[in-house]
Amino acid sequence: MRKDNYTSDDEEQNEKSFSLVADFEGNEEQLFDIEIEWDGDLPILPLRSLILYPGVFLPITIGRKSSLKIINEAEKKRNFIAVFCQKEAKKEQPLKEDLYPVGVIAKVVKVLLMPDHTTTAILQGFKRIELLELTQLQPYLKGNVRLLNDDVPPENDKEFAALIESCRDLSIRYIKASERIHKDSIFAVKNIHSPIFLVNFICTNLPLKIEEKAELINMELRDRTSRLLDILNREVQLLELKTSIQMRAREEIDQQQREYFLQQQIKNIQEELGGSSQSQEIEEMREKGEHMSWPIEIAKTFEKELTKLDRTHPQSPDYSIQLNYLQTLLGLPWGVFTKDNLNLVQAEKKLNKDHYGLEKVKERILEHLAVLKLKNDMKSPIICLYGPPGVGKTSLGRSIASALKRKYIRMSLGGVHDEAEIRGHRKTYIGAMPGRIIKSLIKAGSSNPVFILDEIDKLGSDHKGDPSSALLEVLDPEQNNTFHDNFLDVDYDLSKVMFIATANNLNTIPAPLLDRMELIEISGYITEEKVEIAHRHLVPKTLEANGLKKTEIKIPKSTLEAIVESYSRESGVRELEKKIGKILRKSARQYATNGFLEKSEIKPADLYDFLGVPEYSRDKYQGNDYAGVVTGLAWTAVGGEILFVETSLSRGKGDKLTLTGNLGDVMKESAMLALEYIKAHASVLNLNEDIFSNWNIHIHVPEGAIPKDGPSAGITMATSLASALTQRRVKANLAMTGEITLRGKVLPVGGIKEKILAAKRAGIKEIILSAENKKNIEEIEALYLKGLTFHYVNEIKEVFAIALTGEKAADAIDLTAKRPVKTSNDI
């Protein structure tokens, strides 16, 4: 009998302790032939996470009062007790279903009071028993049990003997490889001669799951030995695999240490020979830093970080991060500025040469140059150009940089949703890099470039941060002189950078960001402007792209206008450029195939051969023969349009107003406003009020597939209703636009320039506008107003006076005629 660390616990088995086992020479059956008798039901001692096997001594710590009562009584009376293991250790008062069905019958050998005032009992197991039922729950458990016999194989059973020796060998291998079991336990395993004792001893002390131990005690001896051998094989393999992994890891660490010592030796040899490549690189950076025009604070930071690099081992991961940081600092254009072109006349010529129109933008750039020329130093403006696609917002930035003779940078923000794209990553992260602002300045090599923030309205945001919030610092003139990039971790001055943002839609830009920019609208080009842009820029550019010369083929302005009117409908000129390119590509093919061009000048009539059937058509004025038909003016994203408002009357109760033509809510409200005003002021038009009770009204705006909305058709609908109800024709070649109120006031509307040009193209001669829109007319060039007469009004009454003639319409109907009354003969 051998004793090691005989401490156990009622809560959890101590994996480093071995239990005691009784061993003796002779027939082991004599030990199990001890007379075991008891009267009635046996007291049941439930154990937590422990299973006692026959022949084994096991120390346990008593925790429950009921368990302490069983132990004390059993020791005094020398009675047997039944010992079973709980399925769940946390269960305080287990029932039959909470206990494993097979346990052992045992005796209490000794009860010890420990120095920490806990009670420890030493139990000895005798035979396996099966729990049949519980007969008592208080003050402790009692139950009816049945003895189970273990058939011990005979001594001449060689197979069983081989199983026993295999278990002994594997358990010794396990103890040697394990750090969880004391190595002195090998002595106990080697010196146990009884097979049944050896198997039970290993089953008790092997650190297995409690479910597997319960499975083992439930088996006959031979089956238990065979199953134990399987478990020992598995555990030994796992333990040896773990040991192998640990050894490989230790070898790798040894190899790293060896490499480190070798590197140190190489470093010492290089120093003896005149310095290492690392030292040379550091000295080169230090020398370059001495010639940099950076602030004193930056110079101190650079020297500090350079010293840190010198102390860092080249094989360390931090070395490359530190080196990248210092190279970034040295790569920035600290104090490097290009000289601005302050010749205003020359700058204006350059802007006019590159772009036609866009007067507001050009004027703002020239104002900046003028102030810079007078003051010699000022913060650059932060401009946002917004408007529809294809109007030249992005290309204008390059033109501005060329006019100012500054470096040009373009950064597309479409789809950017990571704040680090703007501010960079902290250099502590692997793969850290500066933000795109800093990287672009390094690429430009100047601290005052023209910086285009393209598509700023298409910034995204997600869990990685909001880039638009990071741009608040970049685009604020009061903050961007100390822009803080996370990678640099020092301030950089962006106040001399001219930021120009471009956007299609201001609604998606956060209000704080919008507030920091100077907004300049670039509206869509009108037909005349598109023709001029195509003549000056697009045709020469496309000729060069297709290998043709100006002398070989010509596209006159009349042809360009026909392309704009019939083959493209857009705000900008991208589609127009594609159509011109298609014409010239077909011409290039003719030239390459035949050696000559069939047509050296493309006329409007030739467009069908090059571009096919016209894709679009402009509305034309349709005359004033019918009552209730009035020409209105509308603004669209691709320019101005004329539209027709038609009103018809049908006999009825007068309680129905029908609106058709795919009208929006605002336009429907305008129609209802116009009708209510006419009803309230019927006397102004000399209308009989019975008309409203006998005639239903239907208002329609043609091209029903196209959605229409907005308040600018208010006076057009009112005039159409007035014309239909009075059956008077509207003045010829007249169009109008303006919003109305319930009181009959005419309010101003937008898009005047586009609407005027649309009216002129459609053959309109006179236009009615709100008096407040007169200022918009004065901003339009006189060339576009030639041949037009404008009537400025304040009230709808003035509109009626100008628009309605005294002539009856060709299809006039008598609205005063009584509705015929049905007689009995008609029924």
Identify the H or E element spanning 793: strand 789-793
The CA distance from 398 to 271, in Å, is 52
The CA distance from 69 to 740, in Å, is 100
679 has catalytic annotation: no
Is-contact 448 337, C-beta < 8 A?
yes
User: Which residue has tokens 């007319």?
Assistant: 777
755 has catalytic annotation: yes
Measured CA to CA in angstroms, residue 118 lies from 58, 64, 313 at distances of: 16, 11, 57
Is-contact 661 778, C-beta < 8 A?
no
The CA distance from 53 to 127, in Å, is 8
The CA distance from 404 to 369, in Å, is 8
Is-contact 812 737, C-beta < 8 A?
no
Q: Whose CA is closest to 738, among 800, 686, 683?
A: 800
Phi, psi of 535 (to 5 degrees): -65, -40
Q: How many CB atoms lie within 10 A of CB 692?
A: 18
The CA distance from 525 to 824, in Å, is 67
DSSP output for 701-764: -S-TTS-B--STTHHHHHHHHHHHHHTEEEPTTEEE--EE-TT-BEE--S-HHHHHHHHHHTT-
Q: How many CB atoms lie within 10 A of CB 638?
A: 17
The CA distance from 202 to 747, in Å, is 101
Is-contact 120 5, C-beta < 8 A?
no
The CA distance from 129 to 148, in Å, is 5
Identify the H or E element spanning 122: strand 119-136
Per-residue tokens: 818: 């009584």
Helices (H) and strands (E) in the chain, counts: 29, 25
Phi, psi of 484 (to 5 degrees): -110, 110
Phi, psi of 188 (to 5 degrees): -65, -45
Identify the H or E element spanning 234: helix 221-273
Is-contact 470 419, C-beta < 8 A?
yes
User: Which residue has tokens 């043609």?
Assistant: 702
Q: Which of 142, 407, 755, 760 is catalytic?
A: 755
The CA distance from 23 to 350, in Å, is 109
The CA distance from 82 to 66, in Å, is 14
Q: Which of 712, 720, 723, 770 is catalytic?
A: 712
Phi, psi of 347 (to 5 degrees): -65, -40
Residues with catalytic function: 712, 755
